[in-house]
Structure 1
């Protein structure tokens, strides 16, 4: 049986949807987090409408995704696996094991990479996305295997975790790749009549 995978964490103490030690509370909390992300995505979309360029809009999306999805999402998972490992194991449908401690620090590594991606280059963001994907996509495969091979229908094994594991790294890679391509296009020399090209300093002329 594979080790526990990333899943939606329980809400902080006192949250009305939380039932300590019960996976249903985690499911309700996952729905709450999902709705909050939807609001943030819509807010980001509104903000980028006034961006001066496509590159600026892409940069806003990349920074938001790095912090809001990979950074804070993984940091919250670190907290959950360290403070309530039994609840997390129950939500996933696994027995509690010492590996949950290691899963917590694996998520801490993802959080550090997410925060680093805020000020990283497009190439580094692609690398960060691929690094995160090696863990999260492996977790996704594990969830699906446990689902079909062992009938694990626990909410933390077949719920929104599948979408998060897939999209967290994938969106970062796609956005960074798009930004890299757009930057390369904008910096390409402009061909002018007579096979003369416009240099990076804007110098270029046509000769008959």
Structure 2
């Protein structure tokens, strides 16, 4: 499940955003499409994956650690709590259209997920740890998710009143 869940959340976000844009009708407004993609990235790859990480690290610590290629650790509880905060923040940000709130979620996601991604790269280089929870899709989404939030927020800034086609 560690391998597939990040892929499924990203696919679900793209499909949900595409469906919302499709239902909107024509002509397709760039700003609306950007908003929908941002909303569903915050809801699914940030929100639901954050809650998934919380449940995994707090309630299934042994299995989570094994999937990452680690031994279980008391620090997993702290990682789980960080995941809980990020997940709840992402879910709130999906429905709260505050640019500042969404930017803050992006900063926190970059700090935590980007840092986790760097940790995965260090583990791969230092120990050859190619476990699915270390070198699989989670590695890529640790970078893709926060960078996508920043890119979409930037695009949104230039899309007001049709300034970007």
TM-score tier after normalising by the smaller chain length: 0.7 to 0.9
Does the 8 Å CA contact 1:125/1:173 hold for their aligned counterparts? Answer: no
For the pair 1:75 / 2:54, whether they are aligned, the reply is no
Q: Please, what TM-score do these two structures have when normalized by structure 1?
A: 0.69
For the pair 1:178 / 2:155, whether they are aligned, the reply is yes
Question: Can you give the 5+ residue segments of structure 2 that lack an aligned partner in the other structure?
Answer: none
Distance in 2 of aligned mates of 1:85 and 1:133: 23
For the pair 1:151 / 2:124, whether they are aligned, the reply is no
SS in 2 for 1:120: coil
* CA drift at 1:155: 1.6
For the pair 1:42 / 2:18, whether they are aligned, the reply is no
2:111 corresponding residue in structure 1: 134
1:53 corresponding residue in structure 2: 29
* CA drift at 1:83: 1.2
Q: How does 1:160-179 map to 2 (within 5 A)?
A: 160-179=137-156
CA deviation vs aligned residue, 1:140-160 (integer Å, no higher than 9, x gap): 111001101111122211111
Q: Aligned in 2, Cα 1:36/1:167: closer, same or farther, shift over 3 Å? A: closer
CA deviation vs aligned residue, 1:75-108 (integer Å, no higher than 9, x gap): 1110111111001111111111100010100101
Does the 8 Å CA contact 2:13/2:45 hold for their aligned counterparts? Answer: no
Runs of 4+ in 1 over 3 A off after TM superposition: 49-52
* CA drift at 1:35: 4.1
Larger radius of gyration: 1
- Over aligned residue pairs, what C-alpha RMSD do you find? 2.1
Distance in 2 of aligned mates of 1:35 and 1:97: 27
Q: How does 1:11-30 map to 2 (within 5 A)?
A: 26-27=1-2, 30=3
Higher helix share: 2
Query: Which stretch shows the higher mean deviation, 167-176 or 133-142?
Result: 167-176
CA deviation vs aligned residue, 1:117-166 (integer Å, no higher than 9, x gap): 12132343223212210111111111001101111122211111111101
Q: How does 1:95-114 map to 2 (within 5 A)?
A: 95-114=71-90
Question: How many pairs does the alignment contain?
Answer: 159
Does the 8 Å CA contact 2:56/2:64 hold for their aligned counterparts? Answer: yes
Question: Can you give the 5+ residue segments of structure 1 that lack an aligned partner in the other structure?
Answer: 1-25, 189-208
Distance in 2 of aligned mates of 1:148 and 1:182: 41
